[in-house]
Amino acid sequence: MRTLVRAGAGAGLVGFSISFCALFVAACADDPSSSPGPGPFGSDAGTAEDARSGPDPFEDAGTDSGPSSGDAGRDAARPAEGDWSPAAGFTGDVQSLAISDLGSGTLPIVALGSSGAQRSIDNGITWSAFNEGLTNPRGVSLGAIPGGTSLLASSERGAADAGAPYVFASTNGGAWSSRDITVPAAGAVPNDAHDVHGWLVLGGAGQMGCGRNVATGGPDVLQGKMGGSKWKVNPILPPATSQGACRALVGQANDNLYATVFAPGSVGGVFQSTGGQAVDWSDVGAGIDPADKPYTFALAMSRTQPKTLYVGIQRSGGGRVYKTVDGAVTWSRASEGIPEGDPVVSLAVHPTLPNVAYAGTRSGVYKTADGGASWTLSHASRGATVTALAVHHLDGTMVFAGMDAAPGLWISRSGG
C-alpha cells in the first residue's frame, strides 16, 4: 500500500496523493478482494523487485571495448538530467511526502517510509527521525496542508497488527497520537476497517481518507474532523460494482473533489463529488481510454487553476498521463516523452505554474513545462520506482522525489 497526498493552495486545497502503496511496493493481485488491497503496480505491471533487479536501461548494449568506452557509451545514451542530489542523512525508502507548517514559519518536510517517518526543518539539508507515538512505523501515506499545523499518517497493517493503531495525527510538530477509524480485535474485520492510501486535509473542514474497505473490498472515502473521534464512510462505488481502492484524492473545501479508483479487472477511473462533501460520486473519466480506466492511479491538481488536473495510468505496457483543463468535462492524452510502457505512479504540479508538472515512474522523474504536450527525463531513478513527488509550495524551485529503494529521497533545488 503506498500513496502520496499533497496539500494544495491556500487553506483549502490538496494537490496530490499519491502516497504511494506500501502505498507507495507490492504487486497487485488480479482480484483486489483477495488481498489487503491493490498494490501500486497492479497485477499487470509486475513487481517493484522486478523493476529493481532488471538491467540498467541505459547500459551500453554493444561490445565493451574497455572501461572508458563502456562509460562513454552509457553516458551518451543517458538523457541530460536536472540538478538532483540524494538527501544527506536520509535513510531508507520513501512511500509518501508532505510539507506542513509548525505555525512559526518553519515548514517541515516529512517523508514516510517502511521504517517510519523522518523530517527536515531546514529545507531538506538535515533529517531526523519523527516517530514518537508512531507505534506502527511501517508508513503508507501522509496528508498535510500548507499554512496548517496538522499532519495525518496511516500505517501498513499486517496479519500480526490486528488491534493495533494504524491512523495517527500530529499537530504543531508534536508527537503522533492514534486517530484510529477503528481498532479491530484480533481476527476481526469490522465493516469500517480500511486500508488508507491517501489523505486530503482541508483547512478548517477536517480531513478525508482515501482507501479500501477491508470487509467489502470496495473503494471508500472516509470523512472526519481533526481531533474528532467519529468517521463517516462514503463509498465511491458499491463493492458489488468495484473491487478496487481509492488511490488519490484532491480538491478544495466546499468545492469539487476528485478521486482515482485503481481496480485491475474491475471498475475504476476518475470520480467527482460536488460541494466538498465526498458523497454522491460520479464517473467523470469518459474521455480516458476504457482500457486505461481500471489502472487510474496518480492524481494532481493545480492550486491556481483547480480545474486543471493530471491523471497517471499505472499499467505495464500502457503507462501514460491524461489532462483536463475544464474540471474533468473533457480529457486529453498528455504524455509525449514518457515511455509508453512506463507506469505513472506519482504526480505533482508547480504551486503557481499549472503548465509545469512532474511525473514519477519506474524509470525516473519526468518534467513538462508546456502542460503535458511534451515531457523530458529530469532524473533517472536507475531501477527504483518514484513513489512520491512534492513541490515546495513557497518555493517552486524545490522538488522532492521519493523512491522505493535507498537512497530513498532526492532533491532538486533548480526546479528539476
**3-class secondary-structure state, position 253:** coil
Whether the predicted model's global pTM rises above the 0.75 cut:
yes
Task: Tell which CATH architecture fits domain 2-56+92-412.
Answer: 7 Propeller (2.130)
- Grid coordinates representing 309? 488536473
Binned average pLDDT, 10 residues per bin, the chain of 416 residues: 33 35 31 36 36 28 32 36 86 91 78 90 92 78 72 67 70 81 56 74 72 85 67 87 92 88 95 88 94 95 95 88 97 95 95 97 97 97 95 92 95 95
Residue 341's pLDDT is: 86
What are the domain boundaries of the chain?
A: 2-56+92-412
Give alpha helix (H) positions in 14-118: 48-53, 67-77
Q: For residues 245 and 383, what is the distance between their CA atoms, to the nearest angstrom? A: 26
- The answer to whether 272 and 284 are in contact (CB under 8 A) is yes
For residue 334, the model assigns a pLDDT of 97
| pLDDT score recorded for residue 129 | 93
What does the longest C-alpha to C-alpha distance in the chain come to?
A: 67
Amino acid 226: pLDDT: 54
Judge contact between 405 and 47, C-beta under 8 A. Answer: no
The rounded distance, in Å, linking the Cα atoms of 130 and 273 is 34
pLDDT at 151: 83
In contact, 300 and 347? CB cutoff 8 Å:
yes
Amino acid at 121: I
- Dihedral (Cα; 366, 367, 373, 374), 10-degree rounding: -60
Give the pLDDT score at 135. Answer: 78
**Grid coordinates standing for 267?**
471498475
407 preceded by a cis bond (ω within 30 of 0): yes
- What pLDDT, on a 0 to 100 scale, did the predictor assign at position 75? 35
Residue 223 contacts residue 257 (beta carbons within 8 Å): no
C-alpha to C-alpha distance for 310 and 390, rounded to whole angstroms: 14
Spatial CA neighbour of 209 closest among 253, 167, 147? 167
